[in-house]
Amino acid sequence: MVLLYPSRWWVAALGAMLALAAGGAFADDDVRIRPLNHAAWQQECSACHVAYPPQLLPAASWRAIMNGLDRHFGTDAALDPQQRADILRFLEANAGRGRGSTGGKPLLRITETRWFIHEHAEELPANIWSRPSVKSPANCIACHTAADRGDYGERTLRVPK
């Protein structure tokens, strides 16, 4: 029966079974963040940090963020109105569906979402965020070395010293 399926599928299934057999530690590692393309989003949002994937916050969060760019986590990230609207449309169209709010207010930090906390809860050295090479949990690319291409997969993951 196995022979009816393409071999790659079979290898993936075997891998998944082995991972589960290893204690379920990898059960969440099949989370895929689909890489997206949008020129203005890529250019503007990646100027100071990785252009964070729209899927990681709900639309209400993106609206709140894009409405406060002149005071963006303590810095002035203002855009011209047309560009702001263009990028917000893209973020809303691809936003995540999680609740992403706390006490009725939309979450503004991906690092405070349950998804992020869960994904980064295991197997990380205690001082990881304070290492000079990492500096902040906002610095995805410090470990997710292909984050600038929207790739957060295991194969490009390297935790620096």
Partner 1 sequence: MRLTLTAALLAATVGAQAETPPDFEKLFATQAKQENPAFVGFSAEQGQRFYASTHGKDWSCASCHGRSPSAIGQHVATGKTLAPLAPAANPERFTRPDKVEKWFKRNCNEVLGRPCTAQEKGDVLAYLLTVR
Q: How far is the CB of 106 from partner 1 (least distance, A)?
A: 21
Please give the residues from 90 up to 119 whose contact with partner 1 meets the rule CB under 8 A: none
Q: Single out the segment in contact with partner 1 by CB under 8 A; choices: 8-16, 53-61, 72-80, 98-106.
A: 72-80
Q: How far is the CB of 133 from partner 1 (least distance, A)?
A: 8
Strand 105-106 versus strand 101-102 pairing type: antiparallel
- Strand extents, DSSP E, 11-50: none
Asked if 18 interacts with partner 1 (CB under 8 A), we say no
Asked if 81 interacts with partner 1 (CB under 8 A), we say no
Q: In sequence order, what are the residues at sequence separation of 6 or more whose Cβ sits closer than 8 angstroms to the Cβ of residue 61?
A: 95, 100, 101, 106, 107, 108
Q: How far is the CB of 84 from partner 1 (least distance, A)?
A: 12
- Taking each continuous run of H as one helix and of E as one strand, the counts in the chain are 5, 2
Q: In sequence order, what are the residues at sequence separation of 6 or more whose Cβ sits closer than 8 angstroms to the Cβ of residue 85?
A: none
Using CB under 8 A, which of 19, 36, 108, 138 touches partner 1?
138
